[in-house]
């Protein structure tokens, strides 16, 4: 049928139009992340005590608190950029990057059934997650308003990233005595809870090691949780392994992990990893997502209309893989592991209830000190400690109300700075009880 040029026309057929909804009016306002601001309060302490040291135990940023990406890798990446040129790349990055992820970094067996076509490069972890959430909603149950299931005290962007693109976020049941760890029973209860409001769960996020708690989940437990989720009707399980190299144990291994799942189950798995944490490449913004080829094609098609990863970020990752990733990341891994040993001893002596797995963070219960001050949550403690004691930590209340009695302490620093930060922290906590500064 010919349509006159004087008549407006929708870009897609009528049967494919997005239904009108006024739900945007009812959305909560999405707050900016305060984690980027908490360490700014150290400036107040520095102005009052110009000769004193300050300690930033708030951010997990190995590019700031540790040496970051080695210069040799940055220089090699620059050479790759010069060789590659500055023309457009594909929405997934480049074929060379995909191949490096599969063959050089993960060393994936052909028997896995996954190859470079199962990889997409992204502009950091948040970009990968937003793209993954969209795929979960569309390819899972095909509906907005379904849920993304996260832990009881999740990384703050797990709360708001899904919500901003039309997914509701559901906090799984969890016991603080167990670090709010997922359980099979909790996952099943979450599916049933969502169903009572007419919703399904589009995706479960398993982070190992965890942010913010530092909780570590064994590979065996991750398999059990993922299988339970899929059996219960969860559409996808995403494994966020951004911190898995920062450990004194072996990192995760896809070759030993994937065989626990059938070919059909693998269609519903996603794996996220990158250089932000283990290489200290916070402002390099490189991450990769591995998933079923149908999922990758879906994300690539949409990515072609949104964010395409810059080549230099891919080149830094490829240069690190070329060097041998475990060796490339030693400037972050070694001092963080050393700090963890020291912090473990300090925490044991302090008597504080805490969670200390692997990765970058310890989660500490400071409820008794908060109540001594008359505070109902840990929210005020971030500014208080920074301005008065020169140490920045992140209030657990920033993550969810279940973290109200807790704080996140980053030990991705040289061990002497970790020791100094902890000593300042304890002095600050004691001042809440004594009422003296």
117 vs 100, 128, 130, 273, 292, CA distance in Å? 12, 16, 20, 16, 9
Q: Which pLDDT score, from 0 to 100, does residue 320 have?
A: 98
Going by C-alpha positions, the residue among 267, 204, 216, 213 that lies closest to residue 241 is 216
Average pLDDT taken over every residue of the chain: 95
Q: Beta partners for 168?
A: 147
Enter the tokens of residue 132. 């993954």
**How distant, in Å, are the alpha carbons of 201, 362, 368 from that of 271?**
18, 24, 39
Q: For residue 93, what is the DSSP state? A: B
**Is residue 35 scored above 80 in pLDDT?**
no
Q: Tokens standing for 119?
A: 């990889």
Q: Give residue 1's pLDDT.
A: 64
**Do the strands 361-365 and 406-410 form a parallel or antiparallel pair, or are they unpaired?**
antiparallel
Query: Domains of the chain (ranges plus CATH)?
Result: 34-58+329-434 (3.90.1150.10), 71-326 (3.40.640.10)
Where b means 16+ CB within 10 Å and e means fewer, 365-395 reads bbbebbebeebebbeebbbbbbbbbbbbbbb
Task: Report the pLDDT averaged over residues 313-323.
Answer: 98
Contact 117, 293 (CB under 8 A): yes
Q: Residue 272 CB: number of other CB atoms within 10 A?
A: 21
Query: So what's the pLDDT on residue 32?
Result: 84
What angle (nearest 5°) sits at the alpha carbon of residue 278, between those of residues 42 and 176? Answer: 70
pLDDT of residue 59: 82
Whether residue 260 is predicted with pLDDT greater than 80 in this model: the reply is yes
Cβ-based burial of 14 (10 A; exposed 0-12, middle 13-18, buried ≥19): exposed
User: What is the pLDDT at residue 231?
Assistant: 98
pLDDT of residue 101: 98
- Whether the pLDDT of residue 36 is over 80: the answer is no
State pLDDT tens for residues 329-380: 999 999 999 999 999 999 999 999 999 999 999 999 999 999 999 999 999 9
- Bridge partner list, 270: 238, 291
Is the pLDDT at 109 greater than 70? The verdict is yes
Query: Any residues with CB less than 8 A from the CB of 277 and at least 6 apart, and which?
Result: 60, 62, 242, 243, 245, 246, 332, 359, 360, 412
Would you say 393 and 376 are in contact if contact means Cβ atoms under 8 Å apart? no
Distance CA 130, CA 139 (A): 14
pLDDT tens readout for residues 199-250: 999 999 999 999 999 999 999 999 999 999 999 999 999 999 999 999 999 9
Lowest mean pLDDT among 20-24, 129-133, 147-151, 339-343: 20-24
Nearest alpha-carbon partner for 430 in 381, 379, 363: 381
Q: Is the pLDDT of residue 267 over 70?
A: yes
pTM of this structure: 0.96
């Amino acid at each position: 049928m010919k349509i006159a040029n004087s008549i407006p026309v929708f870009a897609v057929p009528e049967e494919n139009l997005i239904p009108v909804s006024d739900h945007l009016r009812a959305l909560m306002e999405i707050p900016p992340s305060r984690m980027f601001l908490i360490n700014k309060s150290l400036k107040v302490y520095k102005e009052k005590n110009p000769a004193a040291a300050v300690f930033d135990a708030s951010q997990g940023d190995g590019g700031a608190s540790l040496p970051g990406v080695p210069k040799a890798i940055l220089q090699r990446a620059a050479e790759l950029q010069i060789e590659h040129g500055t023309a457009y790349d594909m929405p997934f990055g480049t074929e060379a990057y995909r191949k490096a992820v599969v063959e050089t970094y993960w060393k994936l067996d052909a028997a896995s059934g996954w190859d470079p076509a199962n990889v997409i490069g992204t502009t950091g972890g948040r970009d990968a997650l937003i793209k993954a959430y969209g795929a979960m909603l569309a390819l899972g149950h095909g509906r907005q308003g379904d849920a993304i299931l996260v832990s009881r005290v999740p990384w703050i962007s797990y709360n708001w990233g899904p919500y901003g693109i039309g997914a509701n976020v559901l906090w799984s049941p969890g016991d603080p005595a167990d670090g709010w760890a997922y359980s099979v029973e909790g996952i099943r209860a979450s599916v049933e809870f969502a169903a009572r409001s007419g919703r399904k769960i589009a995706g479960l996020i398993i982070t190992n090691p965890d942010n913010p708690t530092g909780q570590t989940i064994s590979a065996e437990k991750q398999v059990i949780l993922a299988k339970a989720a899929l059996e219960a009707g969860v559409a996808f399980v995403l494994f966020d392994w951004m911190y898995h190299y920062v450990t004194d144990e072996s990192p995760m291994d896809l070759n030993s992990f994937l065989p626990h799942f059938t070919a059909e189950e693998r269609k519903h798995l996603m794996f996220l990893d990158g250089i932000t944490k283990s290489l200290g490449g916070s402002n390099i913004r490189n991450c990769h997502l591995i998933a079923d080829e149908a999922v990758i094609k879906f994300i690539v098609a949409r990515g072609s209309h949104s964010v395409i990863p810059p080549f230099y970020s891919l080149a830094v990752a490829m240069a690190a893989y070329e060097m041998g990733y475990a060796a490339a990341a030693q400037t972050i891994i070694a001092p963080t592991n050393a700090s963890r040993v020291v912090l473990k001893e300090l925490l044991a002596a302090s008597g504080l209830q805490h969670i200390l797995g692997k990765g970058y963070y310890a989660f500490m219960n400071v409820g008794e000190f908060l109540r001594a001050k008359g505070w109902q949550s840990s929210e005020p403690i971030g500014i208080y400690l920074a301005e008065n004691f020169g140490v920045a930590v992140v209030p657990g209340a920033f993550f969810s109300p279940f973290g109200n009695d807790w704080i996140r302490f980053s030990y991705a620093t040289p061990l002497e700075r970790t020791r100094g930060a902890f000593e300042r922290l304890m002095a600050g906590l004691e001042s809440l009880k004594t009422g003296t500064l």
